[in-house]
Amino acid sequence: MTSSGRGNFGSRFAVVMALAGSAIGLGNIWRFPYMVGQYGGAAFILIYILCLVVIALPIFFAESIIGKSTGSDTFGAIEQIAPGTGWKNAGYIAIVASFVVLSFYSVVGGWSVDYLLRACTGGFRFSSGEEAAAVFSQMNSSAVEPILCLIVFLGLTAVIVSAGVDKGIGRFAKITMPLLFVMILLIVAKSLQLPGAQAGVDYMLKPDFSKISGKAIAAALGQAFFTLSLGVGTVLTYSSYMRKEENILYAGVWSAFFDTVFALLAGFAIMPAVFAFGLAPSAGPSLVFETLPVIFSQMGAAVPIIFFISILIAALTSSISMLEVVVAWLVDQKGLSRRAATIAVFVCALALGSACAISSRVFSACDFLTSNVLMMTGAFVFAIIVGWKMPKADVRTQFTNYGTSKAARATFPVVWFLIRWVVPVMIVAIAFTNLF
């Protein structure tokens, strides 16, 4: 039962753009291109797509089935499916995970606000990597600047969430996601024209199967998890706002498709330029805030502006989905108004975010805890709930949209097997590989 008082996404386009917006984020820009190059180019892309289809998408479907069938927040949804059991506490894991990701992710969102302002005001002239690195560390050496930018980023996130599911989240995603694709294509076009760009294309695409190790597979799986925003309740919460006629298979496949296309485009925007300028490929903050600024400052004034607007949009549509998980819980379970809930989470995330902005140890601890522990645990719980707690007939009804979706009817037996067996076993296996 979807309670109409909570609000709904008004169209299928809004649902897909919001879900793709959550998926497309910093993970696509600062992790994926580097991983591809590191772990065997096209060979890694193949493994990654396999992980996406066999493990990540089934988890997406599981979350979506829980959300859509209950029309409730993460905690309430689990309570409806397994009433009176301890399972609902698992809902708290996802809500806490979402909150923690929101806090440290917003710090990076804040940095992009800072760099966008620098790019707009002509402060973007770096002649060497050392110079760019010095600016980055100088920005972070004072607490004031990162925290001010964090306030701006979290504030923007809160304003959009507070405006409502369709009028805020849906509308923002519908406008900015197409724009994001146009902007990244512009940078790809510019980057591929640089002399020496081919080396970057080779770095991304040349298949090297000898680099496919257990570590590469674990990396592909971890990336597939993070990039589809799984295990923290964002897919569950957004799906709880789907109208009855929305199709879960369709939503999942399109989100994963746009997410993968964007990750590849980000690679083709970044790596050809990195190689053309004779720099070394890297990952994480140093790529976006140290390597790329050097390149951009030599590619004309518009390129860094377009790039940092892209990062900002990509990060915002993700942080919005994290905030919404916590807000939905406060609204549904604690009876707060959307506005009051948003303000409450804003204040708390600002506190933890400020700690992350000041201390890189707190930042790394939050990152490690969510990526390696909480997201995996959440995903495991969602798969068990759908695969082992919900009656199979109910799962089929939800997935096939009351039997109306032909494609979903045809794929259901495979999806059911993956959710019930493959996903839990693989998560446990990966947990062991990571721990020992």
Contact footprint for ligand PHE (CB under 6 A): 22-23, 25-28, 101, 226-227, 229, 232, 234, 318, 321-322
**From the CB of residue 208, how many other CB atoms can be counted at a distance below 10 Å?**
13
C-alpha to C-alpha distances, 271 to 63, 253, 300, nearest whole angstrom: 34, 27, 18
Amino acid identity for residue 146 in this structure? P
Q: Give the end-to-end CA distance of the chain in Å, rounded to a whole number.
A: 43
Cβ proximity to ligand PHE: between 157 and 234 the closer is: 234
Question: Phi and psi at residue 194, in whole multiples of 5°?
Answer: -70, 145
404 CB-contact burial (10 Å; exposed 0-12 / middle 13-18 / buried 19+): exposed
Collapsed DSSP state (helix, strand, coil) of residue 284: coil
Task: Give the shortest CB-318-to-ligand PHE separation in angstroms.
Answer: 4
Q: In angstroms, give the least distance from the CB of 412 to ligand PHE.
A: 26
Which residue, 216 or 316, has its beta carbon nearer to ligand PHE? 316
Per-residue CA distances from 97 to 69, 295, 322, 367 (Å): 23, 35, 9, 10
Residues 6+ apart with CB under 8 A from 382: 59, 62, 63, 66, 231, 236
- Minimum CB separation of residue 322 from ligand PHE in Å reads 5
Angle at 149 between CA 144 and CA 150, to 5 degrees: 95
Q: Between 76 and 233, name the residue whose CB sits nearer to ligand PHE.
A: 233
> In this chain, which residue has its C-beta nearest to ligand PHE?
25
Residues of the chain by 3-state class (helix, strand, coil), percent to 5: 80, 0, 20
Shortest distance in whole angstroms from residue 316 CB to ligand PHE:
11
**Least distance to ligand PHE, CB of residue 263, Å:** 8
Whole-number CA gyration radius for the chain: 21
- Residue closer to ligand PHE, measured from CB, 24 or 294: 24
**Helix 423-435 with 57-70: angle, nearest 10 deg:** 120
Comparing CB distances to ligand PHE, the nearer of 72 and 260 is 260
Decide whether 32 or 416 has the Cβ nearer to ligand PHE.
32
Supply the minimum distance, in Å, between the C-beta of residue 22 and ligand PHE: 5
Q: Which of 65, 64, 87 is nearest to 76 (CA)?
A: 87
Helix axes 198-205, 248-276, angle to 10 degrees: 140
CB of 228 vs ligand PHE, minimal distance in Å = 7
Q: Which is nearer to ligand PHE, 276 or 323 (CB)?
A: 323
Token readout for 159 is 């304003």
Residues with Cβ < 8 Å from 128, sequence gap 6 or more? Answer: 294
Length of the chain measured in residues:
436
Task: Supply the minimum distance, in Å, between the C-beta of residue 74 and ligand PHE.
Answer: 12
**Considering beta carbons, is residue 240 or 400 the nearer one to ligand PHE?**
240
Shortest gap between Cβ of 250 and ligand PHE (angstroms)?
Answer: 19
Could you tell me the smallest distance in angstroms from the CB atom of residue 187 to ligand PHE? 18
Q: In the complex with ligand PHE, which residue's Cβ is closer, 7 or 27?
A: 27
Decide whether 270 or 299 has the Cβ nearer to ligand PHE: 270
Provide the token pair at 60: 């997406």
